[in-house]
Structure 1
Amino acid sequence: MSEPSRTAGGVAAEEPVPFPFSPVIGLDVDPAYAALRERPSLLRVSVPYGHDAWLATRHEDVRAVLADPRFSRAASADHDEPRLTPLPLRTSVMGLDPPDHTRLRTVVSHAFTMRRVENLRPWVHALADRLLDEMVEQGPPADLANAFCVPLAGRVVCALLGIPFEDREKFQTWLRAHFTTTEMSADEVAAGMRALRGYLAELVERRRHDPRDDLVTALVRACDEERRCTEEELVGLVSILLIAGHDTTAFQMSASAYVLLTHPEQADLLRSRPELASGAVEELLRYVPLIAHVSFARYATEDVLVGGTLVREGDAVLPAIPSANRDEAVFPHPDRLDFRRASNPHLGFGFGPHRCLGAALVRMQMRVVLPKLLARLPDLRLAVPAAEVPWATGIQARTVESLPVTWGARRAGR
């Protein structure tokens, strides 16, 4: 561990505070963050795994740490990285700095184009209609998360990557290992990570001999013919795209559906004015604290002043994105859901060089799915009191385990 850091005024940092502060469940953001955002300095914290770190809670500070090249992700490989997960998650591009990070990011951006995403839009419309047809045909009540949100996100990313959706029974537990905090042991997490990488390595090899019109084939071509990445890096890229496109997207859509069902005035607004879909999606990305507590640690490669704190070279900073997205200095009435919010520089996809690779795909799906859901089932509502909706625990994400819903007896129309 590095020497105790000092504030800009030279005062020794306080003793580290245990973090997370409380076992917040659901979509509540820990109230302790509001008080911390009033401080001009960062807070020193101790976490369940790894060494102590600084906690950044203000939007300005979080954004600075995520974007400043003096903060490194690659340096985490040389430290016992502060984290909430039993094992460090250094999946490919997420553990690199430029120029290696830029090289791999360019591989993905050349293969994962906006055109490829937009070409999926008509198919996403049709898929959403089909899943809703099946749910309506079976009749209420239904589990909206597992009957609609999860299979939609899963089918979309599997189609994009070229992964057989029927293999989801194999890999869904392996994906969950990447999010676990207390749900699985370190041995179980390690086994899940190894199994996922083995499965994807076999898929990459199959696409090498049997190319298809999918993203894995495009990535294989970029790495084999253009020598842009190694085999290990290639498998890591496919892994992070599957994790983000499957579980993260499903988590976001399920939590967003819950928000709509518990904010009927905003749901009615979007239903009556579907042209607000883009703004509504951005507000949901801000409002839903999908990252339960903090993003990956960043290490200072030299002394850096962040807010009122001098972060010494070698110190780690944990960016608290849920806090940044509720910063009253940036978002008026931050705890209010407002689909007509004029300015929304949220950090739901991160910021800087490690900004989410799949942001365009997530936005497209949410802009298609949420207005369609409200239009198809205008009287959709929770089938249980909101307090009884079960939330996932033991993972580094906020999502429902199930979302029981019901609707009127009349048949829903298109």
Structure 2
Amino acid sequence: MNYDDVQAILACPGSSRDLTDPTLPRPIKGLTVEDVPGILVNMDAPGHSRQRRILRTAFTVQAAEQWRQSCRTLAHELLDPADGVIDLVAEYALPLASRMICQVLGVPTADYQQFHTWSTAFLSTNTASVQKRMEAYASFMAYVARLVDSHRANPSDDLLDELIGAHDDGDQLTETELVNIVFMIITAGHETTAMMISRGVFRLLLHPRQYQILVQDPALIPSAVEEILRYDGPGSPGLVRHATTTVKLPSGAVVPAGTVVLPHIAAANHDPQAFHCPERFDIRRYDEGADTRGHLGFGHGPHYCLGHAFARMELQEALRALTSRAPALRCAIPLEDVPWTSQEFTHKPMRLPVLLA
């Protein structure tokens, strides 16, 4: 599937994310993301458009920039006690993404390990763990409902309180919508970001010369992040779509109405008709002034990732701290021995032991 076809499917109004019909095919057996009702990623217009309008002011680039210094400070704090070998996944990527979502959203930091356990179980693709996924989802949603209740009773000054008060021409989110949105933000905000930090560093370890260029020229970090998102994003097979109408693609292929199709974002991001030498990892590809098509790492169209500005900011600061504190960063084991997940919806390093000096 080429770039233009994927982009067209993602943007097409007849490409539905509502797969609640149990007769439709599923990429994973048992409870999956597709089965969660009422969350943005599974909604179509007009309900999806309405919630996005209400939420838009909370997820701007300006809103993300307000948290950049906090993210920078946290990244350095996580590296401060590091001496010798650290597991970049467990000791850096995951706590950075998790603690940032706690700060931004207003979640007690002490709870992050618990919701990480729930989200990991929920995103598992092991068919033997269907019951475990259902239990994790129920526990997670109950926790989020209590969190929303707590913030309503004791408001502070964080994103959750902003979401509680968010409105568009007087139209506010319902309690159920709030719970669903917070569930989505917590899951995507720490799991996906942590995964991309780990995958991005792994990619740079495979290209040590490019890592050294970043050490010498930190101004290239935003470009490097975009190339990581193109080359290694989104780290999963993607989300399937149900064609509610017949869709003719730019390539001339036709997706008949009723078909369930997987728009493969990784394939689109490596389309040689869209990107020059797509299999070459090049941190300068998105440098200022470069004539490069935008990647689809955050999707496209109505479902373009709501938290893209926050994710970009965190990825940039994660790399900035590493390149300044660990200019000689290298893997502590052969890169081919790094273990990767095999029974989760996302594909990521399970451990990434690195030497900081």
Scaled by the length of structure 1, what TM-score is found? 0.80
Between 352-361 and 80-89, report the one with greater CA deviation.
80-89
Q: Secondary structure at the match of 1:405?
A: strand
Q: Secondary structure at the match of 1:134?
A: coil
Q: Which residue of 2 aligns with 1:372?
A: 321
CA distance in 2: counterparts of 1:200 and 1:242, whole angstroms: 9
2:78 is the alignment partner of 1:131 = yes
Q: Secondary structure at the match of 2:80?
A: helix
2:198 is the alignment partner of 1:249 = no
Q: Which residue of 1 aligns with 2:247?
A: 304
Q: Which residue of 2 aligns with 1:80?
A: 23
CA distance in 2: counterparts of 1:97 and 1:82, whole angstroms: 18
Q: Which residue of 2 aligns with 1:64?
A: 8
Which ranges of structure 1 fall in alignment gaps of 5 or more residues? 1-56, 409-414
Match of 1:113 among 39, 44, 60: 60
Q: How many residues align?
A: 347
Amino acid at match of 1:212: S
Q: How does 1:321-360 map to 2 (within 5 A)?
A: 321-341=265-285, 342=290, 343-360=292-309
Q: Which residue of 2 aligns with 1:235?
A: 179
Runs of 4 or more above 6 Å deviation: none
Q: Which residue of 2 aligns with 1:262?
A: 206
Change in Cα spacing, 1:184 to 1:354, as seen in structure 2 (3 Å) is farther
CA distance in 2: counterparts of 1:153 and 1:276, whole angstroms: 22
CA distance in 1: counterparts of 2:232 and 2:168, whole angstroms: 39
Q: Residues 302 and 312 of structure 1 are in contact (CA less than 8 Å); yes or no, is this contact kept in structure 2?
A: yes
CA distance in 1: counterparts of 2:127 and 2:190, whole angstroms: 19
Change in Cα spacing, 1:255 to 1:107, as seen in structure 2 (3 Å) is same
Q: Which residue of 2 aligns with 1:393?
A: 342
CA distance in 2: counterparts of 1:310 and 1:169, whole angstroms: 45
Between 218-227 and 150-159, report the one with greater CA deviation.
218-227
Q: Deviations over 1:251-305 (max 9, x none)?
A: 0001111111121111111111111111111000011143332x22212222221
Q: Deviations over 1:64-122 (max 9, x none)?
A: 00001121113x22353433223241441111111110111122212233333111111
Amino acid at match of 2:301: G
Q: Residues 82 and 297 of structure 1 are in contact (CA less than 8 Å); yes or no, is this contact kept in structure 2?
A: no
CA distance in 2: counterparts of 1:199 and 1:308, whole angstroms: 47
Amino acid at match of 1:298: R
CA distance in 1: counterparts of 2:335 and 2:114, whole angstroms: 32
Which ranges of structure 2 fall in alignment gaps of 5 or more residues? none
Amino acid at match of 2:92: F
Q: Which residue of 2 aligns with 1:43?
A: none
2:151 is the alignment partner of 1:204 = no
CA distance in 1: counterparts of 2:140 and 2:339, whole angstroms: 27
Change in Cα spacing, 1:360 to 1:350, as seen in structure 2 (3 Å) is same
Q: Residues 85 and 180 of structure 1 are in contact (CA less than 8 Å); yes or no, is this contact kept in structure 2?
A: no
CA distance in 1: counterparts of 2:153 and 2:163, whole angstroms: 14
CA distance in 2: counterparts of 1:145 and 1:94, whole angstroms: 26
CA distance in 2: counterparts of 1:79 and 1:245, whole angstroms: 28
Q: Residues 119 and 187 of structure 2 are in contact (CA less than 8 Å); yes or no, is this contact kept in structure 1?
A: yes
Amino acid at match of 2:72: H
Between 270-279 and 85-94, report the one with greater CA deviation.
85-94
CA positional deviation for 1:313: 1.6
Amino acid at match of 1:106: R
Q: Residues 10 and 263 of structure 2 are in contact (CA less than 8 Å); yes or no, is this contact kept in structure 1?
A: yes
Q: Which residue of 2 aligns with 1:36?
A: none
Amino acid at match of 1:61: D
CA distance in 1: counterparts of 2:202 and 2:32, whole angstroms: 31
Change in Cα spacing, 1:133 to 1:344, as seen in structure 2 (3 Å) is farther
Q: Secondary structure at the match of 1:236?
A: helix
Pairwise CA RMSD of aligned residues? 1.8
Q: Secondary structure at the match of 1:109?
A: helix
2:164 is the alignment partner of 1:220 = yes
CA distance in 1: counterparts of 2:198 and 2:68, whole angstroms: 19
Match of 1:97 among 33, 40, 44: 44
CA distance in 1: counterparts of 2:56 and 2:260, whole angstroms: 29
Amino acid at match of 1:171: F
Between 249-258 and 221-230, report the one with greater CA deviation.
221-230
* Pair member with larger Rg: 1
> What percent identity do the matched residue pairs reach?
38
Q: Deviations over 1:145-200 (max 9, x none)?
A: 21111101111111111011111222112111332212752111111111111000
CA distance in 1: counterparts of 2:127 and 2:198, whole angstroms: 20
Q: Which residue of 2 aligns with 1:19?
A: none
Amino acid at match of 2:240: A
CA distance in 2: counterparts of 1:225 and 1:238, whole angstroms: 22
Amino acid at match of 1:77: T
Q: Which residue of 2 aligns with 1:169?
A: 113
Change in Cα spacing, 1:226 to 1:188, as seen in structure 2 (3 Å) is farther
Change in Cα spacing, 1:209 to 1:226, as seen in structure 2 (3 Å) is farther
